[in-house]
Amino acid sequence: MKTFKESKWALSILNLQKSDGSWGYFHTLSNPSSQNPLTTEQALRRLEILGFTIEDAPIQKAVSYMQDCLTGKNAIPDRREKIHNWDIFTDLMLSTWIHRFTKSFEKALITGEKWKHIITQAFRNGIYDPKLYAETYKEIHQLPPKGGRLIDTANFYHVSLLSGFLDKSTAQLFVEYVLQHEKGIYYIYDRQLSVTPAIFQSKETVRYLSAIELLSAYKNSGCRKKLAFVSEWINNNKNNEGRWDLSAKSKDGIWFPLCDSWRNAENRIQDCTYRINNLLQNLL
């Protein structure tokens, strides 16, 4: 797999990594500064796209930091949010990001098993049942009947983490639910995923493809057919050379750019084609 580990984008992020393995705040950049211009999540997402894996020292250092936070040896410095149970949400966030780089950390696996049970129960009647979800959520997390706001299931963390846990039947129901969810995947894309973007050359398409990339992880659960319409749409938007160009508008600092500069349109087309080809391979 091609990587961009020596790009100026990667080096600029690595230069900001702190001695503990973090980049400062984990989830919310509530007080940005020149010392903390991005969150640990933002750094990890960008580095992953640039080709970094658990084999790379900066990722090993970050994963070790997250493992310490998950086990209580350390704590993320973010301000506790009040919109939901912050401890449960933090556990979910950390477990998700650890699991994206390594599948061997026991505490993250325990978190995945908990959410597997919750989601499996929510879909046990063949359709998402919010009442069953709420009941199981509170039971598993030992919360009182009115124990705070629930975490919506159609978000980056659940979709990313659960691909390795759900059984085939539940995975298919879950993917269909996410595809039809009016607000897409929270934190990634805020529109219904069963409807492709009207304008291909746009940042909206970049966010859309990022969401589909998450769902493509469920392909071994029999979900390929559910995503076939995306492959068709992508292929219908090739240029005359059989490649893709999302235009300069698609530069978002996360998915793109990959190479050091888009001043040359050929570099941009190469980046776009590389990312889209990888996604299409995941959809096969």
Tell me the C-alpha distance between 112 and 249, whole Å: 37
Q: What is the pLDDT of residues 190-246, one digit of tens each?
A: 999 999 999 999 999 999 999 999 999 998 888 889 999 999 999 999 999 999 999
Supply the pLDDT for residue 32: 56
Query: Long-range contact list for 150-155, CB < 8 A, 24+ apart?
Result: 150/84, 151/84, 151/85, 151/88, 151/89, 151/92, 152/186, 153/119, 153/122, 153/128, 153/177, 154/178, 154/181, 154/183, 154/184, 154/185, 154/186, 155/185, 155/186, 155/187
Res 19: pLDDT: 96
> Residue 220's pLDDT is what?
83
Tell me how far the alpha carbon of residue 63 is from its chain's centroid. 16
pLDDT of amino acid 152:
84
In the DSSP assignment, the letter for residue 152 is: P
Residues in CB range of 220: below 8 A, 6 or more apart: none
pLDDT tens-digit map of 153-169: 999 999 999 998 999 99
What is the per-residue pLDDT for 151? 79
**pLDDT (0 to 100) of residue 143:** 85
- The pLDDT, as a whole number, for residue 83 is 67
Identify the segments of the chain with pLDDT beneath 50: none
Task: List all residues 6 or more positions away from 254 whose beta carbon is below 8 Å from its beta carbon.
Answer: 42, 45, 46, 49, 206, 210
| DSSP H/E element including 242 | none
All residues at 6 or more sequence positions from 11 whose CB lies less than 8 Å from its CB, including other chains: none
